[in-house]
Amino acid sequence: MIGLSFTSKTLTLSEEELDDKVIHVLDSLWEEYKLFNYQIIKTEPTISIGIDTSKDMAGLHSALEKQLPKQALEVYEIEIFQRHKSDLTAER
């Protein structure tokens, strides 16, 4: 069984397929934007992403809008927060 359905020129992915695509996009942006972590939150549909303060939040947001499936942009709110790398080292 495939989790795809077609409706008036729209391709709908199953929840698992959508999450796989979102994870693939986030993994592909990991190095370029120095992501610290990301989390897909289902209860309040959100993609939460932590990046280094030296990186461009607007650039990451733009890259996500271009690379994420349209369905993901409709389902999830994107939350990006910045932290100093030294803050993360101190927490460990």
Per-residue pLDDT tens over the stretch 53-91? 988 999 999 999 999 999 999 999 999 999 887 665 545
What is the value of pTM for the model shown? Answer: 0.78
CA distance linking residue 82 with residue 51, whole number of Å:
5
Report in angstroms the alpha-carbon separations of 90 from 29, 52, 85: 25, 14, 9
On the question of pLDDT at 8 being above 50, the answer is no
> What pLDDT score does 2 carry?
44
On the question of pLDDT at 43 being above 80, the answer is yes
- Is the separation of the CB atoms in 26 and 38 below 8 Å? yes
On the question of pLDDT at 44 being above 50, the answer is yes
